[in-house]
Structure formats: C-alpha cells, structure tokens
Structure 1
Amino acid sequence: MWNQDDQGVDELLEWLMNEYGQSITRLAFTYTKQNHTAEDIAQEVFIKCYRKLDEFRHESSYKTWLYSITVNLCKDKLKSWSFRNIIFSDLLPTKAKLMETPESQLLNFENNRMLADQIFSLPLKYREVIILYYYEELSYNEVSDLLKIKISTVKSRLHRARLLLKHKLERSISNG
C-alpha cells in the first residue's frame, strides 16, 4: 500500500504519466483505432491510477498494472454501443523511425499502412497479442498476466495471428 503524503503521490503520478503516457495512448489506439478515443482512454487510465494508487500492491510492475487498466478500459469501450457505430480511419502509430529520403518515407508509410490495416483486420484476440508482444515489447509472461490467459495460449495466439497476417498480406499483395 502506498503510504506517502499527497505530494509523493502527485510526483509518482507525474512520473508514471511521463514514463508511460505515450505507450498507454498507443496501446489504447491499437484497440480503438482512433486517436481522440485513445487519448481519452489514456486520461481515464491515469485518473483511475490516481484514485487507486494507494491500493497498488506491487505484485506487478507499474507498467503491467497500467497496461492492465488500459486493456480493461479499451475492452469496455469496444463493448459500448456508441463506439461500435463509429467508422475507423486512423492508422496504427509506430515508434519513431529514421527515414532518409522522401521516397523511403512514402514507401515506409505505405508499407506501415498496409500492415496496420491487416493487423486491425485480425480478430481482437489475435490483434491484442500482436500489439502487446511486438509493438509494446512485452514478454510472454507479461502478456499472459495482462490478458489473464496462460502463456501457452499467448504463444498459440501469436502463432495463429502470424499465420493469419501472413495469408492476409500475401492476398493483399497478389490482389494489389
């Protein structure tokens, strides 16, 4: 249990927001596919974090705890009627990349867009393991803890997701 004064809690929250804010927003985006909604969810995550910080038991890292809150809020949002009736148009944001020429920038953008489209077309249970493992760079154990599934299930879903993604990309290339 967190036993510091309010200033200590405020400082910890500020550190958590600086340390994990972008990752939380990016993770929320992978579920919602909308920048604005992802930013709203990130704000909700840190509000919930602030309210529950004294209940944090240190059984996991802050990162895993915040990701768990994010995943749960995202799943709640995806279940809501209003969200299910929104048309998606944003692309998966990726970590900063070094690009040398305008041609390579365009090629990378097109490749990333195609990959993002294919990832977003995967069923949620496959999409979330791909995002958590490859984009958020979580370990099998962390993904397992976060999604509350067995490690063998994480590995199985990753394998199936990669196969589905491979087939989708092959079809996309052959049709394009």
Structure 2
Amino acid sequence: MSTENIENEDPRDPLKREVEELMIHYGDELTILAYSYVKNIEDAKDIVQNVFVTAYLQMGKFRGESTIKTWLYRVTINKCKDYLKSALFKRIILFGTNIEPKQTGNSAEEHLMDKEFARSVLQEVMKLKVNYREVILMTYFQDLKIKEVAIILNLPEATVRSRLQRAKKQLTPLLEQGVLPYV
C-alpha cells in the first residue's frame, strides 16, 4: 500500500470527519425518506449509504446555494428514483418493514404506546401516493418547513401546500378514528 493511500485513509481527514458527522446527524432521517420511496428498510439503508459516499466524493462541488440538509435530501430522492427505475428493482418483490421510532426517556408503557402509534401512522402514510407521502414525511416526521420541502422537491411552495392538504384529506378517516390526532 502506498503512502498516498495511507494518507487518504487518515481518520483525521477533515472531509471524512465532516461526512461522518453528517451520517450521525442525518442518517436516520434520510433512511426514513428513502424508505418512503422504496418501502424496504435494507434497500433504504443501502441507498443512504450511497448518498454518503456521494457526499464524500462530491462535497468539494457543493456550492452552498442551499443547506447541506437540503442537498442530502435531494441526493437521496434522486438515488431513490434511480433505484426505482432500475431493472433490479423491477424484478424484486418488496416486503414492508417497520421503522422503529427513536428511543426516548419515557416509561416502558409510554414507549410501547409511542412505538405502536408511530407504526400505525407510518403504515397509513406509506399507503399514500409517493408525492403525498413525501410531503407528509418531510413535514411531520422530519419537521421540515414548507419552504425547505419545496426546495428539496424542486416544487413551488403552493404545490407543496396543496399536496400536503390532499394528503391530510386522504388521512381524514384516520383522524376521525382518533389514530392520527396531530396531523
């Protein structure tokens, strides 16, 4: 192994550290986003791993015209769309997998109720068309503002609001049943 390769693998590499911090900070959010497209947790994790490889390789080309978070979301969406277009995807039968909510300091009973609630909500949201599903997930699950969602999806803010409204309307039967009290 040459000394040049050893230098590239140096853990003190600032770019490597920056990407590792991005992985820690945005990894779960991007996995949920990817899952909303591919509906398979393992494929979503693979896509997100590729997103961070791309981030490492392309970080020097990042112009800063948007936030790094917005850029990572856009890369994730593009990679998901590429995956869905691929011949491999067309031959795979997808099986749904639940995404676990983050751990909190709640009691065991509250944690179980939160987990069940999150699973129920996610199941119903995942039934929506992708253009409605993505705005619901970004707005309510990842706490993005309408403006941020519009930038990520490269859509006018009015379109995002419209999709959000239509998605909520489709989820109305759940609201009436009390399953989704906060949407």
CA contact (8 A) 2:34 2:47 kept: yes
Which residue in 2 is equivalent to 1:91? Answer: 98
Q: 1:95 Cα deviation (Å)?
A: 3.4
Structure 2 stretches lacking a partner, 5+ long: 1-7
Structure 1 stretches lacking a partner, 5+ long: 1-5
Give the fraction of aligned pairs with identical amino acids, expressed as a percent: 37
Which residue, 71, 79, 85 being the options, matches 1:65? 71
Q: 1:62 Cα deviation (Å)?
A: 0.8
Structure 1 residue 12 corresponds to structure 2 residue 28: no
Which residue in 2 is equivalent to 1:164? Answer: 170
Q: Deviations over 1:52-101 (max 9, x none)?
A: 11100011111111111011111222223432432322124433345424
Give TM-score, length-normalised by structure 2: 0.80
Mapping for residues 24-43 of structure 1, pairs under 5 Å: 24-43=30-49
Which residue in 1 is equivalent to 2:5? Answer: none
Structure 1 residue 139 corresponds to structure 2 residue 145: yes
Q: Deviations over 1:117-175 (max 9, x none)?
A: 2111100000000011111111111100100110000000000000101236658x8xx
CA contact (8 A) 2:41 2:99 kept: no
Q: 1:107 Cα deviation (Å)?
A: 4.2
RMSD, aligned CA: 2.3
Which residue in 2 is equivalent to 1:3? Answer: none
**Structure having greater relative contact order (Cα 8 Å, sep ≥ 6):** 1
Distance 1:115 1:53, change over 3 A: same
Could you tell me which amino acid in structure 2 is paired with residue 32 of structure 1?
V
Q: Distance in 2 between matches of 1:15 and 1:151?
A: 30
What number of residue pairs does the alignment pair up?
Answer: 167
Which residue in 1 is equivalent to 2:59? Answer: 53
Q: Distance in 1 between matches of 2:84 and 2:106?
A: 34
Could you tell me which amino acid in structure 2 is paired with residue 73 of structure 1?
K
SS of 1:66's equivalent in the other structure is: helix
Distance 1:168 1:71, change over 3 A: same
Q: 1:112 Cα deviation (Å)?
A: 2.9
Which residue in 1 is equivalent to 2:121? Answer: 115
